[in-house]
Amino acid sequence: MKTLRQRNIRDYIMVSLLVLSTVLVLTPLIIIIGYVIINGLGAISIDFFTQELGSPARAMQGRPTGLVHSILGTLVVDTIGVILAIPIGVGAGIMLSEYPEHKLNPLLRVLNDTLNGMPAILKGLLAFAIIVRPMGTFSGLAGGVALAFVMIPIIARATESALLTIPWSIREAGLAIGLPRWRVVMSTIVPAARTGLITGFLIAFARAAGEAAPLMFTSFGNNYLPTHWTGMIFGPVDTLPQRLYSLAISPYAEWHTMGWAAGIVLLVFVVALFTGAQLLTRQKAL
Amino acid sequence: MNINVLFKKKKPKEDKMSPDFQPQEPDLLYREIHMNGSPPIRMEAKNLTVKYGTVTGVKNVSLPVYNEKVTALIGPSGCGKTTFLRALNRMHDLTPNAKVTGEVLLDGNNIYAPRVNPVTIRRKVGMVFQKPTPFPTMSIYDNVVAGLKLVGIRNKAFLNEVCEKALRQAALWDEVKDRLGSPGGSISGGQQQRLSIARALAIEPEVILMDEPTSSLDPLSSSKIEDLINDLKKKYAIVIVTHNMQQAARVSDNTGFFYVGDLVEFGPTDKLFTNPSHKRTEEYLTGKFG
């Protein structure tokens, strides 16, 4: 038996260790946010949100330059990805949670987890093979498909866990009044789990929005706005994560600053999505 | 308006898919039986066995369900009452490992015959569960008419009519008529259970299965449900699983006593409670075990 003093000391040490790990978790986040903002704030201006990038000469000669084409491109490519990923991911999630006895269920579970763990750049390769090669051009569509591959397994898992929070008795009640099984799922289970589903979409979206690797040989990048908006879907298009990378490895100091600014925009975008997801989750708990 | 008219229009395909399940004209069947003077049998289990993997939940049970009568199933916990009940509307179809053998006849047709669609069976054999199960995102109104609306019946006047009728039958109309639009979960537990009953009644089934419908309710709500059962048996065949022997004695016409998966005894409630033929039944009823 240890003395009370010894037990108190031990308790104090354990709490200190927990505080230490909390600090270690928060430090990189604070450093990243702080450093990105300090370095990028100088490039944030109205031009930054209204002008396209153009050639390096523009920035070096002080002519107006910005990243509007990357911001719009990100929205277009991410939207394509979400539109493709939500139906497929939700469908797979419904299979995972509602049809446990189905022959494909165990296979789907393994493959979905594998897809989730697969490096994103390989998903880009897949999109390259199935979209870019046949179309003969890099495109926002191919980028969207690559991002959909990133989102699908996350959405499927989130959908599964959201649906599983709805008690089994609700499904039986639906079946007991003679509803077909898919009708029970669509009309009673999915609506009841909607907050969880939307949270899952936002998390998947935020994750995909930050991906640069799968876009490198799908949406490819572009220094200019396309002449027509359809060019964003069917032609090479710029995205923020990838533009950030290109600006960072460029040899021009002005572009480096713009890269940091792109980082700020991307951070705000992703943090806003995650915060939205958090708020929804909290609302659900109430 | 007869509800079946709407269904026949809506679901010609389903009828084609189950040629083995051709219900006889029920009126004819029952007139015949009435003329013969014997009580009409709505459902009948014949040598019904339910296994979960290697565990046998119900062993070779044969039991009739009479029309316009209440059949109570009593017995200790885990003795197969609920398992038996769930076999009567093919609720075991979704349980992995569960295997049902034997026959359950509904109006003379085996509901376990190949190619019988369980969905058509469940429209004729409704079920009320132990815990109230209002659909969480639906209003009281939508809960009641869910079984009609969600299969494509859109006629508002008809749905309103069904909703009021079902809620009146479930003795809930007066309590909720002014707030049919509020969520199904917003009313009390006892009201929710009557809502679940109204939802089962809205599809005009032939048989209503009740799995301990009052076990999660207070005594006042329970007695309302019991009154309701007495009313409903004028029109439906009712099977009720209960832990409460007084309840079985109060509401039922026939009682079956289950013990470890066996149907030990089945007979008129009066006789079973006053003069049981089996020692086990007597011991259970007098509180020696269970």
For A208-231, the DSSP string reads HHT--GGGTTTTB--SS--SSTTH
What H or E segment, with its residue span, contains residue B104?
A: strand B98-106
DSSP assignment string, A108-152: HHHHHHHHHHS-HHHHHHHHIIIIIHHHTS--HHHHHHHHHHHHH
**DSSP character at residue A237:** B
Choices 1.25.40.10, 3.40.50.300, 3.90.1150.180, 1.10.3720.10: CATH for A47-285: 1.10.3720.10
Domain spans in chain A, listed from the N-terminal domain onward: 4-43, 47-285
Residue A264's identity, in one-letter code, is I
Structural domain count, chain B? 1
Radius of gyration for chain A, computed over Cα atoms and rounded to the nearest angstrom: 23
Residues of B in contact with A187 (CB under 8 A): 135, 146, 150
Distance CA A161, CA A109 (A): 13
Cβ B202–A177 below 8 Å, yes or no? yes
Q: For each of chain B's 290 residues, which pLDDT tens digit applies?
A: 555 555 554 444 444 444 454 544 444 444 444 445 456 889 999 999 999 989 999 999 999 999 999 999 999 988 999 999 999 999 998 887 889 999 999 998 999 999 899 999 999 999 999 999 999 899 999 999 999 999 888 999 999 999 999 999 898 999 999 999 999 999 999 999 999 999 999 999 999 999 999 988 889 888 989 999 999 999 899 999 998 889 999 999 999 999 999 999 999 999 999 999 888 899 898 887 76
Cβ B151–A192 below 8 Å, yes or no? no
Judge whether B28 is closer than 8 Å to chain A, CB to CB: no
Among A101, A172, A192, the residue with its CB nearest the CB of B96 is: A101
Cβ B123–A177 below 8 Å, yes or no? yes
In Å, how far are A56, A125, A194, B135 from B132, measured between CA atoms?
68, 52, 22, 10
Residue contacts between A and B (CB atoms, under 8 Å): 77
The pTM (predicted TM-score) of the whole model is 0.82
Q: Within 13 A of A131's CA, how many CA atoms are on the CB side?
A: 28
Question: Going by C-beta distance under 8 Å and a sequence separation of 6 or more, which residues neighbour residue B107?
Answer: B23, B24, B26, B29, B42, B206
Distance CA A149, CA B68 (A): 58
Owning domain of residue B60: 3-285
Partners of B207 in the beta sheet?
Answer: B125, B237
Residue A192 Cα, gap to closest chain B Cα (Å): 6
Question: Going by C-beta distance under 8 Å and a sequence separation of 6 or more, which residues neighbour residue A197?
Answer: A90, A158, A159, A162, A190
Nearest to B200 by CA among B211, B189, B186: B211
DSSP assignment string, A243-280: HHHHHHTSS-HHHHHHHHHHHHHHHHHHHHHHHHHHHH
Nearest to B285 by CA among B252, B260, B261, B259: B259
Nearest to B1 by CA among B203, B146, B206, B162: B162
Residues of B in contact with A188 (CB under 8 A): 135-138, 146
Judge whether B188 is closer than 8 Å to chain A, CB to CB: no
Dig out the tokens for A241 from the structure. 């994560």
Please tell me whether residue B103 adopts helix, strand or coil conformation. strand
Nearest to B245 by CA among B216, B279, B282: B282
Cβ B136–A192 below 8 Å, yes or no? yes
Cβ B150–A101 below 8 Å, yes or no? no
- Residue whose structure tokens are 């003969």: A136
In Å, how far are A78, A129, A231, B52, B172 from A151, measured between CA atoms?
10, 19, 24, 38, 47
Among B123, B131, B135, the residue with its CB nearest the CB of A178 is: B123
In CATH, what number is assigned to the domain containing residue B196?
3.40.50.300
Which of B4, B119, B211 should one mutate to test binding to chain A, selecting the residue with the greatest count of A CBs within 10 A?
B119
Q: For each of chain A's 286 residues, which pLDDT tens digit applies?
A: 678 999 999 999 999 999 999 999 999 999 999 999 999 998 899 999 999 999 988 888 888 999 999 999 999 999 999 999 999 999 999 999 999 888 999 999 999 999 999 999 999 999 999 999 999 999 999 999 999 999 999 999 999 999 999 999 999 999 999 999 999 999 999 999 998 999 899 999 989 999 999 999 899 999 999 888 899 999 999 999 999 999 999 999 989 999 999 999 999 998 898 888 888 777 654 4
Residue A79 Cα, gap to closest chain B Cα (Å): 28
Judge whether B127 is closer than 8 Å to chain A, CB to CB: yes
Residue B242 Cα, gap to closest chain A Cα (Å): 18
Asked, for residue B290, whether it belongs to a domain, the answer is no
Asked, for residue B116, whether it belongs to a domain, the answer is yes
